[in-house]
């Protein structure tokens, strides 16, 4: 399975220790994390890197570093991870090399402010969907989103996710979006016809 994912403008590569720079830039910025948590300290981020670089299900579950395909400038991160229900953070112990975790797998992305408004989030979401449904055993993905994060809701809808109500995740009741492999296939077929 090829874990380096390319789009027209971006490359997504499995997060490694050397990506501590973009992790610090993202997670210490209150504007980036405002809809999900408080900003973290550099020490907290460094301590969490061993978990952040773990992968499961033969590599298809984990975090990717998002960078410019030409310049290699790092823009953010994207992930396919087990959706926490009552906890407020991921349980990285669920990432076992050759096993698909039980429960919902969430698609998500974080970009630094200089990368906002350029269509990168939609490009990332669409590429992760293609990877998940063409190259992995995943049958469905979910995405949770804060009520006020209208930009992210638009990205999910443009990528084919369907709003499916509110549910408990991250210890709170939030909007949840879903897309199945069959739904993604139908969407791809109808867009190629039109």
* Model pTM above 0.85: yes
pLDDT tens digit sequence for 97-144: 999 999 999 999 999 999 999 999 999 999 999 999 999 999 999 999
* Torsion (CA) 149, 155, 159, 160 in degrees, nearest 10: 40
Q: Is 165 left (phi over 0), alpha (psi -120 to 50) or beta?
A: left
pLDDT tens sequence across 16-32: 999 999 999 999 988 88
Mean pLDDT of the region 36-64 = 92
- 66-104, pLDDT tens digit by residue? 999 999 999 999 999 999 999 888 899 999 999 999 999
Decide if pLDDT at 194 tops 60: no
CA 181 from chain centre, in angstroms, equals 17
Q: Which alpha helices (H) appear in 2-96, and where do they start and end? A: 20-27, 30-33, 42-52
Q: Is 79 exposed, middle or buried (0-12, 13-18, 19+ CB in 10 A)?
A: buried
Reported as a pLDDT band with limits 50, 70 and 90, residue 1 is low
Residue by residue, DSSP assigns 81-118 as EEPPSSSSS--GGG--TT-PPSS-EEEEEEE-GGGTTS
Give residue 29's domain range. Answer: 5-193
Whether residue 37 is predicted with pLDDT greater than 70 in this model: the reply is yes
Structure tokens at 9: 């403008």
Which residues, in sequence order, are CB contacts of 88 under 8 Å at separation 6+?
Answer: 37, 170, 171
What tens digit of pLDDT does each residue of 147-179 get?
Answer: 888 999 999 999 999 999 999 999 889 999 999
Tally of structural domains, the chain: 1
Residue 163: what pLDDT? 96
pLDDT of residue 35: 80
Task: Specify the pLDDT at position 193.
Answer: 54
Laid out side by side, the sheet with 172-180 consists of: 5-6, 10-14, 62-68, 74-82, 105-111, 140-144, 172-180, 162-169
Q: What is the CATH number of the domain that holds 110?
A: 3.40.630.30
Q: Is the dihedral of CA 47, 113, 141, 38 positive or negative?
A: positive
């Amino acid at each position: 399975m090829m874990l380096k994912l390319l789009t027209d403008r971006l490359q997504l590569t499995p997060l490694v220790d050397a990506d501590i720079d973009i992790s610090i830039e993202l997670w210490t910025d209150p504007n980036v994390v405002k809809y999900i948590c408080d900003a973290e300290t550099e020490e907290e981020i460094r301590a969490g890197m061993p978990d952040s670089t773990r992968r499961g299900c033969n590599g298809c579950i984990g975090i990717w570093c998002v960078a410019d395909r030409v310049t290699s400038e790092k823009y953010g991160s994207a992930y396919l991870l087990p959706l926490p229900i009552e906890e407020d953070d991921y349980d990285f112990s669920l990432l076992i090399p050759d096993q698909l975790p039980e429960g919902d797998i969430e698609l998500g992305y974080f970009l630094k402010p200089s990368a906002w408004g350029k269509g990168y989030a939609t490009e990332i979401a669409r590429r992760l969907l293609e990877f998940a449904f063409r190259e992995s055993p995943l049958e469905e993905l979910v995405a949770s989103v804060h009520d006020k994060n209208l930009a992210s809701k638009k990205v999910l809808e443009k990528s084919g996710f369907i709003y499916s109500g509110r549910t408990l995740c991250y210890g709170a009741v939030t909007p949840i979006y879903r897309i199945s492999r069959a739904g993604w296939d139908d969407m791809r077929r109808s867009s190629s016809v039109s």
